[in-house]
Chains A and B, each alone.
Chain A
Amino acid sequence: MKFNPLHGLKHFFSRDSERTLMKSVAITIISLAVFLAGWWALSSIFPSAYFPSPYKVGVALINSFENPDPNFGGLTMWDHMSQSLGRFLWGFVVAFVLALPLGLLLGFSKVAENLGKPIVEIFRPIPPIAWAPFFFVIFGVFWGPILPVFLGVFFPVLSNVIFGVKSVDPLLLDVAKTQGASKLALFRKVILPSTIPYMMTGIRIGLGIGWMCIVAAEMIVAPGGGIGLYISIMSLVGRWDYMFAGMVVIAILGILTAGLSGYIERRVSKWMGIK
């Protein structure tokens, strides 16, 4: 039994994936270069203060990080970034902590589902950002911009967890029962682990929506700064290069969070042995 046919297979796949990785990195670089060249060309053909060249935006970007801005009482882009990230994290964590058990409950119990589903369905179609003025007035300046993020993350996680519980393979439940599992053991050892990939999908979708919500909410209220606020102020004072710099920061942070969640998802799948 020393011979393991999987070793050769793994080796083959890793070499293969290395090659595809290099290839996709090259294509990404080309795509970014084409994008920047197109932007550059358009901004030189149509010179306008409203449409700065990538160079100007780049200068503004560096400047925004290095020099405190008197428009914001001396805050730099680092401060705006940490404000936005902090709010995002708050909203995300609270949403996840509440959506996970609620999703498990609604997926598991028919009664709970019948009770909870209509309420969920009423609130789900309302764009989280529509709540921002209400949240601001009722819950104050701290929670005001956080709660839209909360809603943006809450619903995708909730519906994916519910779906995950309902998608548990009935065969695995039968197996566990014949192995003597109690209801609690079924839940802990079969339903919960089966739901994890769905949970991860909910998180990935929630991250994207939450990120959009924080920027939009900060345009309405953002004590102590925030990238959303930064963008709206810069457009009001007519510094379009700085406004675009703020948008670049959002894009980069969004890509980073999506990459991080993708990484975690892959690690979890690998750890769980799911391919």
Chain B
Amino acid sequence: MDGHKVVLSIKNLHKSFKKDDSELVAIEDFNLDIENGEFVCVLGPSGCGKTTLLRIIAGLEKPTRGTILLNNKKITEPGSDRGMVFQEFGLFPWRTVRKNIEFGLEIRNVPKEERKKISDKFIDLVGLKGFETSHPYELSGGMKQRVGIARALANDPAILLMDEPFGALDAQTRNLMQKELLRIWSETKKTVVFITHSVDEAVFVADRVVVMSARPGQIRYIFDVKWPRPRDRASVEFASLRKKVLAELEKETGMNR
């Protein structure tokens, strides 16, 4: 596998919103290359434009300036080559677990037997066997997000975009889901861009932690976390890196002592 191939390249990205007569700069001068198979966390204070960044990569919003290349192709609109996982799950309430996962396959007119094969594979991968015919209202938050992840992966995207995917879960489920995500990631070898505001979460899952500044959102610092997984939250290195990342983040929120 070509481990150092750049999958996603963000170049001079700039995004501003017009609000009344003033211009609100959300993202400024953002440059980042993400390599194949890499797990990148984008961390930042709330309102720093990290969700906007992800939505631009997904094609749901247009940048004011700058380009994003996915495998050297410019991103202009949403597409199934980028799988997105949303904080509030966004499951179709009228579809069963299986039908939710097969949504994108249906859109692309994948034949029925093929769809079933693929959804079976991902239902198995995310640990939802036995719940194929359940509807979202019958599932817990953690299970809902398992469906969300399976649905994003079912299209076999080049990159997985995750917008605070565990933000709506309780602390325990959250920790469990982080481990589950790492297992899924190691089995699928997908490139992941993961948005979070939790330092602990970022240090636990990521290969690289990108700390963004408050508005306008720029890259403030990038931490390389080349540790093996599973990582030990109780270890000294973990605590010390967490402290460093937190210090960097707090400079932004004006909380540093």
Do A6 and B138 contact each other (CB < 8 Å), given the known contacts A178-B60, A273-B94? yes
Among B78, B79, B106, B127, find the residue whose CB has the most chain A CB atoms closer than 10 A: B78
A274–B84 alpha-carbon span in the complex (Å): 24
- Residues of B with C-beta under 8 A to A189: 103, 106-107
Please indicate the chain B residues that have their CB under 8 angstroms from the CB of A174 in the complex: 60, 84, 86, 90
**Interface status of B58 (Cβ within 8 A of chain A):** yes
Q: Is B121 an interface residue (CB 8 A)?
A: no
Whether A15 sits at the interface, judged by CB under 8 Å, is no
Within the assembled complex, what's the spacing in Å between the Cα atoms of A6 and B131?
Answer: 10
Interface residues on B, range: 35 or more
Shortest beta-carbon distance from B229 to chain A in Å: 25
B46 within 8 A of A: no
Chain A residues, CB < 8 A from B84: 174-175, 178
The number of residue pairs between A and B whose CB atoms lie closer than 8 Å in the complex comes to 77
> Number of A residues whose C-beta is below 8 Å from B?
25
| Any B CB within 8 A of the CB of A176 | yes
* Interfacial chain A residues near B104, Cβ < 8 Å: 179-180
Is A273 a contact of B127 with CB atoms below 8 Å?
no
Cβ of A193 under 8 Å from chain B:
yes
Contact pattern, A 169-187, Cβ under 8 Å of B = 1, otherwise 0:
1011011111111100100
User: Known interface pairs A1-B127, A2-B130, A178-B78. Does A171 touch B88 (Cβ–Cβ under 8 Å)?
Assistant: yes
List A residues at the B interface (Cβ < 8 Å). Answer: 1-2, 4, 6, 169, 171-172, 174-182, 185, 189-190, 193, 196, 272-275
Q: Return the 3 tightest CB-CB contacts between A and B, nearest first.
A: A273-B135, A180-B80, A179-B104
Binding site for A on B (CB under 8 A): 58-60, 78-80, 82-84, 86, 88, 90, 92-96, 103-104, 106-108, 127, 129-131, 134-138, 151-152, 155, 161
